[in-house]
């Protein structure tokens, strides 16, 4: 017979389980779920959030990578529940097949939170909002505004794809085992309209990464080092009324979009 006790946490898989019912309530309230909503949860773990989600929503798909937790949850799953448990890696699971309008609610495994977030944002046309628990430090970078020390590639790319609000901090005491870092819950309302088309987006991503490659250099020099033509960059900055000595960290996401358009207009 299967053990009634949940399997022990595996650190490598980011297994810090929530134990505070108040935090669960706040997360679920923030997702504004109705009985017709479809939800995706990544990493159901021992199921504390999952249970609250399937009581509030019409259907929940929960993807868990750990076969021990998958077996534990399957064993305890109510007979006719609106929950589909999936044993898979959320980095390769075909999220593009989920219904349009799916709401994402998850306490993400921190070792993988940034790549997972970008994978989800890439498919934002089907996900109108996401309520995510992340490391506090990552949340601060997601919401950072230009000219702040935590403003960088993550801020620009995420703010390009979503309106982001840091909603509340969560102390390490609310988890077992306790994580080594503080956490925070963030709400991402994805942008319906893509400011750049699908072909231009990779150019935007590459430009932002190149711009922040050397924070202490001017934007012109950083981009030149990464193979961009200096003249084209200077002309693009000039057309945006920006000085040639501008640094990457003062440009907003919208200004990076404009810069991409102007530089790619020169054939780059």
Footprint on this chain of ligand SAM (rule: CB under 6 A): 13-18, 42-46, 48-49, 63-66, 69, 89-91, 107, 109, 112
- Other Cβ atoms less than 10 A from the Cβ of 71: the count is 16
Residue with tokens 């017709």: 36
Closest CA to 219 of 162, 260, 167: 260
Least spacing, CB of residue 195 vs ligand SAM, in Å: 30
Nearest residue (CB) to ligand SAM, 7 versus 244: 7
Question: For ligand SAM, which is the closer residue by CB, 186 or 219?
Answer: 186
Token look-up 């944002």 returns: 121
Least distance (Å) from ligand SAM to the CB of residue 99?
19
C-beta of 28 vs 69, nearer to ligand SAM: 69
E-state strands within 88-146: 103-107, 129-135
Nearest distance from residue 119's CB to ligand SAM, in Å? 10
| Residue 226 to residue 233: CA distance in whole angstroms | 12
How open is the CA angle 160-166-169, to the nearest 5 degrees?
150
Q: What is the DSSP string of 147-161?
A: TSTT-SHHHHHHHHH
Task: Give the nearest distance from C-beta 131 to ligand SAM in angstroms.
Answer: 12
User: Which residue number places its CB atom closest to ligand SAM?
Assistant: 43
Residue 18 CB, shortest distance to ligand SAM, in Å, is 4
Q: Going by DSSP bridges, is the β-strand pair 183-190/175-176 parallel, antiparallel, or unpaired?
A: unpaired
Question: Which C-beta is closer to ligand SAM: that of 168 or that of 266?
Answer: 168
Name the residue nearer to ligand SAM (CB basis): 89 or 182.
Answer: 89
């Amino acid at each position: 017979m299967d053990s009634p006790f949940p399997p022990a946490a595996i650190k490598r898989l980011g297994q810090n389980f929530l134990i505070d019912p108040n935090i669960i309530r706040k997360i679920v309230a923030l997702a504004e779920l109705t009985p017709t909503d479809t939800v995706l949860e990544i990493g159901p773990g021992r199921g504390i959030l999952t249970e609250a989600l399937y009581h509030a929503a019409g259907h929940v798909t929960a993807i868990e990578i750990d076969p021990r937790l998958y077996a534990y949850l399957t064993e305890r799953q109510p007979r006719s529940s609106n929950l589909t448990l999936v044993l898979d890696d959320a980095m390769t699971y075909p999220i593009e097949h989920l219904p349009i309008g799916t709401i994402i609610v998850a306490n993400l495994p921190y070792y993988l939170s940034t790549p997972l977030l970008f994978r989800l944002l890439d498919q934002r046309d089907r996900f109108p909002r996401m309520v995510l628990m992340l490391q506090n430090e990552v949340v601060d970078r997601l919401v950072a505004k230009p000219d702040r020390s935590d403003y960088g590639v993550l801020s620009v790319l995420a703010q390009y794809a979503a309106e982001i609000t840091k909603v509340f901090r969560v102390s390490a005491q609310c988890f077992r085992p306790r994580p080594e870092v503080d956490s925070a819950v963030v709400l991402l309302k994805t942008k319906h309209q893509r400011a750049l088309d699908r072909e231009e987006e990779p150019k935007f991503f590459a430009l932002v990464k190149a711009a922040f490659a050397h924070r202490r250099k001017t934007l012109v020099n950083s981009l030149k080092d990464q193979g961009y033509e200096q003249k084209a960059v200077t002309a693009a900055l000039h057309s945006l009324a920006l000085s040639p000595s501008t640094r990457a960290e003062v440009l907003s996401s919208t200004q990076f979009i404009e810069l991409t358009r102007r530089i790619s207009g020169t054939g780059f």
